[in-house]
């Protein structure tokens, strides 16, 4: 069985309706099983650049892109964004009380959509039309404060306030963060590298210089 890679990132933008009352779990599956199933469905879509956004602060991500076991979750919301043969797609879920269950729901939903093709009902992936993603949903917005915290954490050289205030401090932090986060040194992990690149872009615009 083939599995696609999924990058984890902090959820910084939620543009879908708010969930007033979340439901208890209808599932009895381990998170490892749900994530494997999700990767399989992403693979079947022929997807690239798959990103799973979870509602955890950026500084509570490990360098390998995973979330610390003792991380403080703001909410169980998750969003799967990906580039597929049907274009940019986004699948949000906030129905259940735990993020594990919302991941499971997305995986099962993708499987159900794929089943429609299995029986020849559609020819051009019409069932995915309603999940077309806007660019703002595919590329989450990052604030200057979050960008500074990311560089401070990865570079381990300065505090976020100094990075926000001084372009020279930000340049040094950006250089060290890129060195530390490079996939060749970071066990091949892409999530930290992607976050650092986004943070550098945000802070470059903030300071009006190229970091």
Helices 31-44, 99-118: axis angle to 10 degrees equals: 30
First to last CA, the chain: 42
Q: Does 102 lie in the same domain as 134?
A: yes
- As for how many domains the chain has, the answer is 2
Q: Which of 121, 138, 155 is the last residue of a domain?
A: 138
Q: Does 152 lie in the same domain as 94?
A: no
Q: Does 161 lie in the same domain as 127?
A: no
Taking only the tens place, the pLDDT of each residue in 134-187 is 554 444 457 788 888 888 888 887 788 899 999 999 999 999 988 888 766 655
pLDDT at 45 over 50: yes
Neighbouring C-beta atoms of residue 115, cutoff 10 Å: 11
Q: Does 120 lie in the same domain as 159?
A: no
Total-model pTM: 0.62
Q: String of b and e for 8-45 (b: at least 16 CB within 10 Å)?
A: bbbbeebeeeebeebeeeeeebeeeebbebbbbbbbeb
| Strand, coil or helix: 142 | coil
Query: In angstroms, what CA-CA distances link 101 with 32, 56, 78, 206?
Result: 12, 16, 10, 38
What's the confidence (pLDDT) of residue 196?
Answer: 84
Q: Output the DSSP codes for 36-74.
A: HHHHHHHHHTT-EEEEEEESS-GGGB-TTSPBPTT---S
Please, what is the Cα angle at 31 between 82 and 40, to 5 degrees? 40
State both tokens at 70.
């003792």
Percent of the chain topping pLDDT 90: 23
Q: Which of 109, 138, 167 is the last residue of a domain?
A: 138
Phi-psi category of residue 68: left, alpha or beta, with phi > 0 → left and psi -120 to 50 → alpha: beta
| Strand, coil or helix: 166 | coil
Q: Does 194 lie in the same domain as 168?
A: yes
State both tokens at 47.
């997807």
1 inside domain:
no
What's the confidence (pLDDT) of residue 136?
Answer: 43
Q: Does 72 lie in the same domain as 128?
A: yes
Range of the domain at 60: 7-138
Q: Which of 138, 153, 179 is the last residue of a domain?
A: 138
Q: Does 95 lie in the same domain as 34?
A: yes
Q: Does 151 lie in the same domain as 128?
A: no
d(CA 101, CA 28): 9
What's the confidence (pLDDT) of residue 137?
Answer: 42
């Amino acid at each position: 069985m083939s599995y696609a890679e999924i990058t984890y990132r902090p959820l910084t933008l939620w543009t879908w309706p708010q969930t007033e009352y979340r439901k208890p779990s209808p599932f009895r599956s381990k998170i490892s099983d749900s994530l494997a199933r999700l990767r399989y469905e992403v693979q079947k879509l022929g997807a690239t650049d798959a990103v799973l956004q979870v509602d955890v602060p950026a500084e509570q991500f490990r360098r390998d892109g995973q979330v610390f076991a003792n991380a403080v979750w703001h909410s169980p919301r998750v969003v799967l964004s990906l580039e597929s043969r049907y274009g940019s797609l986004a699948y949000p879920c906030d129905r259940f009380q735990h993020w594990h269950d919302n991941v499971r729901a997305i995986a099962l939903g993708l499987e159900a959509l794929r089943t429609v093709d299995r029986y020849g009902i559609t020819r051009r992936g019409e069932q995915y039309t309603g999940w077309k993603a806007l660019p703002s949903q595919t590329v989450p917005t990052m604030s200057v404060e979050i960008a500074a915290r990311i560089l401070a954490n990865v570079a381990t050289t300065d505090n976020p306030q100094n990075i926000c205030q001084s372009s020279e401090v930000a340049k040094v932090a950006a250089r060290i963060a890129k060195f530390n986060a490079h996939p060749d040194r970071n066990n091949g992990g892409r999530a930290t590298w992607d976050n650092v690149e986004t943070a550098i872009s945000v802070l470059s615009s903030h300071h009006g210089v190229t970091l």
